Chains A and B, each alone.
Chain A
Amino acid sequence: MNALTGDRVFRVHWVLGTDRLRAVCHCSAEREFEDPVELWAWLLDHPNGHTS
């Protein structure tokens, strides 16, 4: 479910049934993490390393 509709929205989904977080950049790049600190560092570093 997406609540925010802007052009530059970062989304983080807690993957059901796991302890993992899926980060989705506004450029549609995705990556899974176990540590939310590392996750935000990657998301906010867009576009570095964000090949979707």
Chain B
Amino acid sequence: MTGFPRDQWYVAAYGSEIEHDLFTRTICGEPILFWRTRDGAVTAMPDRCVHRRFPLSQKPSRLVDDQVVCGYHGFTYDAGGRCVAVPGQTRIPRTARLLPYPVVEQDSFVWVFIGDPANADASRIPRAPWLVSPDYTTVAGMEPLNARYELLVDNLLDLSHETYLHGGYIGTPEVASTPVTTEVDEDAGIVYVSRHMDDAECPPFYAKSTGLEGRIARWQDIEYTPPCLYKLHSRIAPVGSVPNADGTDPDAFHVEVVYAITPETESSTHDFWCVARDFALEDEEVSAFLAENNRTVVMQDVVALNVLEQVIAKEPDGYQELSINIDTGGLAARRMLKRLCEKA
């Protein structure tokens, strides 16, 4: 599969990354310039001066109040992308305008819409409320991945790889050996993969953060809304404990692992990751432990997928891969992404 699903919302950054300063990131092959205006809004527009294409994020381009001045010839644009000054003349050409991207700041992320702005419906942005909830504490990061985004989707939809690639961190034998249930809602655009391990070894990642030791109930419920947002609802509890009928679950520890899978180019990806927990909220040692360990796990995936990208890039066309039961969710996600690419 090539190309990106268009007319879609993608996470471009954490809100905390965008300050009153020029910031650039390439999303789906499009270099985008961001800054936070003095009244706190995030702007997003092409990172190319309309005149001679000089990147507006590149010094000596600079932000003056809420206007960006091109560092090459001085074309000046306001926060809406309108050109307000050109060098040496008073007439501003009609086409001297940067078309802003629809942008929404929500759940700690800055989302941009890639496609026809007329189709940008902010209500379609999937939610991850835990990331800004006072009932949760979140650690987060972003790692550059030198691999196509589809490889990260494959990786995250099949967690049986935890047993092998992440042994000693989050992998235990039961992850690879417990059957999964896969559900697909074509209308809502959701792939849901459940793996409920009712009597499993507690991996160090959860033993050290929750204090539970020995055998545990470990539930993994993946909710992927293609193309960008992936949520792993992780439930860790004493063996035999199940949620109450009213939905409360006082004996369990809950961890919401959220990934935003944002294509940078056809062979590179922004791998945003967040770990939100509903326990030990003030414990900085737990925060530091989860941040360091999750980053280690993410980097284990990054190293493996970077290698895989090189393998795929060099192979002849028509290679026939093999899919087995564990790939059921990944195959569903691939089909949904393919459909989104064809629709665009």
Contacts and interface: CB of A to CB of B under 8 A. Distances in A.
A49 to B, nearest CB: 18
B335 A44 contact: yes
Contact of B185 (A6, A13, A35, A36): A6
Nearest to A10: B184
B155 interface: no
Contact of A7 (B182, B187, B194): B187
B190 A36 contact: no
A40 B180 contact: no
B192 interface: yes
Contact of B325 (A1, A4, A14): A14
Interface in A1-28: 1-4, 6-16, 19, 21
Contacts, number: 65
Interface string B172-186: 000000011111111
B324 interface: yes
A4 B181 CA distance: 11
A37 B323 contact: yes
Contacts of A16: 179
A21 to B, nearest CB: 6
Contacts of B185: 4, 6, 8-9
Contacts of A39: 328
15 contacts: A2-B183, A4-B192, A6-B187, A7-B187, A8-B186, A10-B184, A11-B183, A12-B181, A14-B180, A15-B179, A21-B328, A35-B323, A36-B327, A37-B331, A39-B328
